[in-house]
Structures are given as C-alpha cells and as structure tokens.
Amino acid sequence: MRDAERLGNAGRHSPWSNHPHHPAMDYHSPAPTYAVPSQNVVSLELPLRVQNFDDAFTALGGEPQLQHVLENRVGDGQVKQKTEPVAGVSLKPDDPFAKKLSSMGLSTRNVLVKVTLPKCTVRKRKRGTDDVFTVCESASGDIRAQDFVRRLQNRPNAYKYQAVAIIPETHRFRSLPDFQQRCDDMEIMQKVSQHLLEPTYASAKSFKVDLSPGATKATTFPLPPTLTAISVPHRYEYRQAHDVVYRYDEQGNPIAENSHKVQKRLVLPVPADIEIVPQCRAAGLRSHRQDTEQLERCIEQLERLMQERPLVTQRVATNALDEFSKSMVLEASEWVGYTFSSGPFRDTLIKYGVDPRSDPKYRTYQALMFQTKGKDRAFLSAGKIKVSERSPTSHIFDGVHVGVDGKTWQVCDITDPVLRDLFHSSQVLSECDVYQLGWYPISTLSKARIIMKDKIRHITAGTVPTVRDYHLVLAATEDIMDRGVAHLVDNVSQEDVHASNLVRKLLTNMKTYRYGNPQNWTKHKTGQTDAELADIDDLDEPMDEMDESSQADDSSQYSAAEE
C-alpha cells in the first residue's frame, strides 16, 4: 500500500477482504476513505534484522543522530541555510572506530499500517500424529513475515488494522562500508580509546603523543579517514567469457584458449620491386578457426571471384562475398593471393602467379586512395551518405554516391563520366612505375585525384559539381610544372574561380609526384613562387598516416601485417 487513497483498493483484493469492517462493495463502487493521523514518521530501511531495539538504536547513533533525521527533511540540502538529513548505521555498534553506512533519503508517500493479531495462547501439534504439543511460536513475541501472512489468511476475521501515519520520506542504505583497519594492536589508537572516547579533564590532560623528530618505536600507523570513494557495490558474480574455450593439449592437460583471438598473418606484403611475385600459397599456412568448413567455402568463392577479376580490394571481396564476415574474408585472402606493401597496386589482393607490373592490361586495377580531412571525415562517419555501409556497390564511384566503408577505389570501378573518359583516353607508359605511377602518366593520375577528391567533398557537403569546374584541369598538360598556371588562371571569370583553384592544386599534386615532399622544393628547381602553389593541406596524405579513428579501409586490411 503506497498511498493513503489506495488503501481501500489494496484491501479489496487482499487476504483480509472478508474482514467484518471491510465495506461490502462491487467493482463499480468507489474505494473507501480512511483518515490518516498527521504524525512525524520517518522510515529507516536497515540492512539488518532487528531483534533488539536497544542495539538497533545504538547502531543508528542514538538520539542525537535520529533527532537530526527527524528535524530535517529530504531536499533541505538544496537550501543553503539547512542541511540534508543523513542517517548512519554501524554494523559494529560496540566498536567506536567502525565505519558507518550513510543513508540516502528519498521522498515517498507510503502509509504506516498497524495490524493487530490476537496472541496465540493455544498449543499445537502436527495433525494426525501423536507428537507432544508445543507452544505457539508467537508466544515469544517474534514472528516471521511469511508466518504473519499465513495467519492473516487463516484467520481473516480475527485481526484489526489501522492507518497510523503517512511516511513522507524513507532512508535507505545502499552503499558499502569503507575499508577499516584493525586498531587493537596500535598504541596510538589504544591511547585515543582510553583518553578521548569518554573524555574527562584528567583523561584528556594525560593524553600525550610522542612528537619528537626522528624514528619512533611505533611500527603501525592509522590509515586516513576515507580509503575509497566508491560507495556503489560491484557485481562480483563470476561469468565465463564468451570467447574462452577449453581443450586438451597433446599431453592431455586442459588449456584455455581465446576462440576469437586475432591470429598473426603468415602471408606478409611483398616489396613493390620484387623480381618474382609469389606463385602459390605458403607451405605452413593453416587455419586457427574451429569452423573450418565455413572458411573453406569462403576460400572457394573467393577463388572463383579472382578467376574473373585477378586483382580486388578488400571492399570488393567483402561485397561479393556478403554472406561472410570481413574477418573471414581477410583470412581467406591469404589462401588465394598476395599483396604489395607499396606502389600503385598497394592494398589490392592479387591472385597468386599474376604480376600486374608485366602487362599494361592490368592498369585498370590500380588503386586510388584518399584521406578525408576533419570535417569530411566526421560527415562520412555520421552515416549521412546515401550508400549504406554494407552496400554491394559501395566499391563503385559514380560521382553521385560514396561509400563509407572504405576510401580506396580501383580504376575499373570508377564509372563517373568525367573520370572514366580521362582514364580511357590516357596514354600508357611503356614501362610500369612500380613505386608510384604504375601504367598511367603523372598528368592522368594527378587530374584524376584532384577531380575525384573534389567530387567527394561535394557529395559530403550535399552540393552538385558542374562539368565547368573541371575544364581547366582537363585542359592542363604536364608542361605546367615548368611554365606555371598563369596562362590558365589569369583573367578568369567569377564562375571559374573554383576551377582556377583546382588547377593550382593540380600543379602541387603533379610536382609532388615528380619531386616528392613539397618542403624539399626550391624556386630554381620548380620555377614557381610560393604564391602559385596550392595549399599543402590539400595534398592526399599517405595511407599509413591515416587517422586511426576513421573507418577501416582496404589499406588496413590487406597491407598491414597483424601482430
């Protein structure tokens, strides 16, 4: 019974509904009204069973502490002139040094009900037996709650109940006691106990502490008043970790293993200038998974995919094998192909025996990698792009949508009209540049990177680029590294301001391909002033410097060896 006005409704379905004072009613009649006296009653939910009132009174600190709880109200601490009522209970009331539990006051609207049962004066014995009669348990004055309820049910007409008062606040003890040091063998605490616990003038005057400098004879010292600030109990129940499995080793000893432990990769990326690429899988390659059947199916489907497409990124493989997890596809990749640690084919899984540096027909499998800056990265991570994270076409860049599950695209997966025409009409180098360019010249890769990154920024910003934005970039040639871009950007119209900025970025990108780090450029080497160079922050950073907080992409999946 929580509220005074609900007292009648509670009694309607209670065991004592047949009480003679209970008003006869049906379900459509209003609940009865009871007068509740106005008394100052505070409820204390002690974390112990009270069998002796005097001991419980002492454990609560006696009359001074309880008077503080009665005179103040819960919520008074919000008023500066008053203090919040806090009760303290000691689990060792005979120990003056024992730490106390502090209560937490709550505002309630409970009703204190007094239920009177007639005293059991009869003898009883088990029915149907000849056992000796025993006195009723209630004769001692102590009765358990379940026995009390049973007696109410058995004798519905022999008890009385009365609403005594409304309980406006309740103090509950939900915290843990602080750590306590045993003080029986500590000399200083013995002196405190003898002279200061029940002080008199003579005892307090005789209390002396050795304050002389240097080492003392004392070997133990009292701890600080508070040792821990954690008052909420921890959940200490044992629960087995889901990933831990038990098995027996070769000697028959039980051992525990982590079933989801990330295994070290045996197939490491090979250098970009290696003479002969790997022709088959490693001899010592084996699976650490318990479900080898699923891994075999993943390997079989991945081999079938690489028969049609000998070079794939991790995102392409994951989209094609959507029934398997990314970790499963990553492990299966060691069985079907290898990767380069750097160069134009970095971060792509290459079929064993296939060397993309040997034939220009593999140029369409080169990868373009991009790093988004702070604002763009936050936009991508927020999932505001139209393509979902596990879309089967997230590896395709059409200039309108962009996937959020990677930042690497292969040339054959770029279907944007401007970029597609740029790659199809590009010249092909006579020899593969294994370190940077691959089979495409500097101008083609620089233009593709500038245009593609600008389109990605437009998509993240929710704007639509125009073909006019890229006409100056497409018209530029490699001689701008010597001539500069003045003949392209001078006297441009207001509509071509963005296009002129892209040309300046193109110049910076092309010089980065040729000369390396822009900090090493000199005026006599480049023939340009600093004003003609684009902002260095617009350069695409190397993928190994990518922010770890960004979405995991193909570079982190295929090229980095797992430790």
- Collapsing DSSP states into helix, strand and coil, what is residue 452? helix
Q: Are 399 and 418 in contact (CB under 8 A)?
A: yes
* Mean pLDDT calculated for residue range 255-270: 73
* Mean pLDDT calculated for residue range 388-415: 78
Residue environment code for 275-308, b if the CB has 16+ CB neighbours within 10 A, otherwise e: eebbeebeeeeeeeeeeeeebebbbebbeebbee
pLDDT tens per residue, range 4-25: 444 344 443 444 444 444 544 5
pLDDT of amino acid 563: 34
Q: Which of 190-199, 272-281, 357-366, 541-550 has the lowest mean pLDDT?
A: 541-550
Mean pLDDT of the residues in the chain = 75
pLDDT tens per residue, range 48-100: 888 888 888 888 888 888 888 888 888 877 766 777 888 888 888 888 788 88
pLDDT at 116 over 80: yes
Q: Which of 68-77, 250-259, 493-502 has the lowest mean pLDDT?
A: 493-502
175 CB-contact burial (10 Å; exposed 0-12 / middle 13-18 / buried 19+):
middle
pLDDT tens per residue, range 36-52: 888 888 999 888 888 88
pLDDT at 464 over 60: yes
Using the 8-state DSSP alphabet, how is residue 76 labeled? Answer: G
Residue listed under structure tokens 């200061």? 196
CA distance 326 to 313: 12
pLDDT of amino acid 528: 46
Domains belonging to the chain, first-starting first, are 4-118+155-172 (3.30.200.160), 362-558 (no CATH)
The amino acid at 62: G
**Closest to 557 (Cα-Cα) out of 375, 379, 337, 385:** 337
pLDDT of amino acid 311: 92
Which residue did the predictor score with more confidence, 155 or 106? 106
345 CB-contact burial (10 Å; exposed 0-12 / middle 13-18 / buried 19+):
buried
Tokens of residue 328, six digits: 């499963």
pLDDT at 533 over 60: no
Q: Which of 233-242, 263-272, 291-300, 512-521 has the lowest mean pLDDT?
A: 512-521
* Mean pLDDT calculated for residue range 237-253: 80
pLDDT of amino acid 516: 67
pLDDT of amino acid 266: 58
Q: Which of 143-152, 178-187, 209-218, 278-287 has the lowest mean pLDDT?
A: 209-218
The amino acid at 423: F
**Closest to 241 (Cα-Cα) out of 253, 256, 228:** 256
- Collapsing DSSP states into helix, strand and coil, what is residue 249? coil
Q: Please spell the DSSP secondary structure of 460-502, one letter per residue.
A: HHT----GGGGHHHHH--TTHHHH-SHHHHTT--GGGHHHHHH
